[in-house]
Amino acid sequence: MNTEDIFERLRNGEIISPKDPDAYQMMEASFATKGLLVQMNVATEPEEIRGFLSQIIGSEIDGTVNVFTPLYINYGKHTKIGKNVFINFDCVFLDLGGITIEDYVFIAPKVSLLSEGHPTSREDRHSLIPKAIHIKKNAWIGAGATILPGVTIGENAVIAAGAVVSKNVAPNTVVGGVPAKFIKNI
How do residues 160-176 score in pLDDT, each as one tens digit?
A: 999 999 999 999 999 99
The DSSP output letter for 102 is -
Which listed residue (78, 118, 126, 134) is catalytic? Answer: 118
Work out the percent of the chain whose per-residue pLDDT is above 90: 98
Cα 48 to Cα 122: distance, rounded to the nearest angstrom: 44
> In whole angstroms, what is the distance from residue 94 CA to residue 166 CA?
15
Mean pLDDT of 80-102: 98
DSSP count for the chain of H helices, then E strands: 3, 18
Q: Buried b vs exposed e over 46-78: b needs ≥16 C-beta within 10 Å?
A: eeebbbbbbebbeeebeeebebebebebbbbbb
Interval 101-106 mean pLDDT: 98
Q: Which CATH superfamily is domain 6-185 in?
A: Hexapeptide repeat proteins (2.160.10.10)
129-144 tens-digit pLDDT: 999 999 999 999 999 9
Distance CA 93, CA 107 (A): 11
Q: Is 78 labeled as catalytic in the residue annotation? A: no
Closest CA to 73 of 105, 47, 36: 36
For residue 45, pLDDT over 60 is answered with: yes
Quick one: pLDDT at residue 4? 80
pTM: 0.95
DSSP-derived secondary structure for 113-143: EE-EE--SSTTTTTSBEE--EEE-TT-EE-T
pLDDT tens readout for residues 143-163: 999 999 999 999 999 999 999
Q: How confident is the model at residue 3 (pLDDT cuts 50, 70, 90)?
A: low
- Across residues 27-56, what is the average pLDDT? 96
Q: Rounded distance, CA 3 to CA 34, Å?
A: 27
Burial class (CB within 10 angstroms; exposed 0-12, middle 13-18, buried 19+) of 94:
buried
Q: Is residue 1 pLDDT above 90, yes or no?
A: no
Query: Rounded mean pLDDT of 77-97?
Result: 98
Rounded to the nearest integer, the mean pLDDT of the chain is 96
By percentage, how much of the chain surpasses pLDDT 70? 98
pLDDT for 2 equals 55
DSSP 9: H
Task: Go through the chain and tell me how many residues it has.
Answer: 186
The H or E element spanning position 62 is: none
CB 105 within 8 A of CB 141: yes
